[in-house]
Amino acid sequence: MSHGLTHLQEIPLWPDVPPGSEGVSLTEIIEERSPDTTIFMDRAVTGIGNPRLIAWVPEKPNGTSVVLAPGGGYVRVVLDKEGIEIAQWLNSLGVTVFILLYRLPGEGHANRSLVPLQDAQRALRLVRANAAVWGLAADRVGAMGCSAGGHVIGTLATMYQRETYTAQDAADAVSPRPDFVALIYAVLTMDERWAHPGSRLNLLGEAPNTAEVDAWSCEKYVGTHVPPCFIEHAADDASVPVENSVHLYNALHHVGVPTALHVFEAGGHGHGIRLARGKPVEAWTGLFADWLRVHKLL
């Protein structure tokens, strides 16, 4: 295993109270939603006052790492389906994974829309700042997100330069730019024509103005600064319209950012790995592994 990093180690993001969470008192709750935990677990986390990373370390780390943001509509973080199950698969490829338990914008924080991006920026900085100690490559730190977690990572990919908090320590001198990004049936726009209504409501509130909508629509911040992206979506996604991924891809392609887009005819929303089996979208994991190899990340 990587020296200095242990499996399932929990790494707090912030040295003190997270920025914007002063005076906020939350009780973390982990709800088990699986009908039969002997078959699979399906836990959802709410009340996240202590945002943190959970390290999933492979037996044979190859130096590549990923900060993984599960989804949950910005009202919960889905721990198993879009966290642990994906982390275990990436571990089998030699990739070290840091599951990101990020703060949820509707839980009372000041500047609610900022807190997920603050946590994502801080997470990338911590992994890169500690890469040498943890046996990781500082230039192979990626980020991956599913559903609303895809919006966390999509904003990180496109808006990482945005100053969202005052520097806390030396780690904040490190760049929060991911070296590569994977967006899995991601929420990417806040344009109400294509936005996921729940994520938009939780992030921006009841009646956001045009400036607020634009400020958190990833396609509006695309430029050559964005790292290479792998994007996958099912065309029959009834929760997050495929236009989220298609419009971001078009913007990335237009400026020449190396990007792969895979749209599958069927697979629905929230498929992760387990629920993709037997559907066209099942192919996404193999395609992503191939993409990582082409980019010399495996």
Mean pLDDT of 86-110: 98
Top CATH class of 10-294 equals alpha beta
What's residue 4's pLDDT? 85
What's residue 3's pLDDT? 58
Structure tokens at 101: 């338990």
Write out pLDDT tens, residues 111-167: 999 999 999 999 999 999 999 999 999 999 999 999 999 999 999 999 999 999 999
Longest Cα–Cα distance of the chain, Å, equals: 49
Tell me if 83 sits within 8 A of 70, measured CB to CB: yes
Tell me if 289 sits within 8 A of 258, measured CB to CB: no
- Cα 135 to chain centroid distance, Å, stands at 22
Q: Is the pTM of this model over 0.95?
A: yes
- Domain residue spans of the chain: 10-294
Tell me if 154 sits within 8 A of 216, measured CB to CB: no
Q: How wide is the angle at C-alpha 186 spanned by C-alphas 143 and 234, nearest 5°?
A: 125
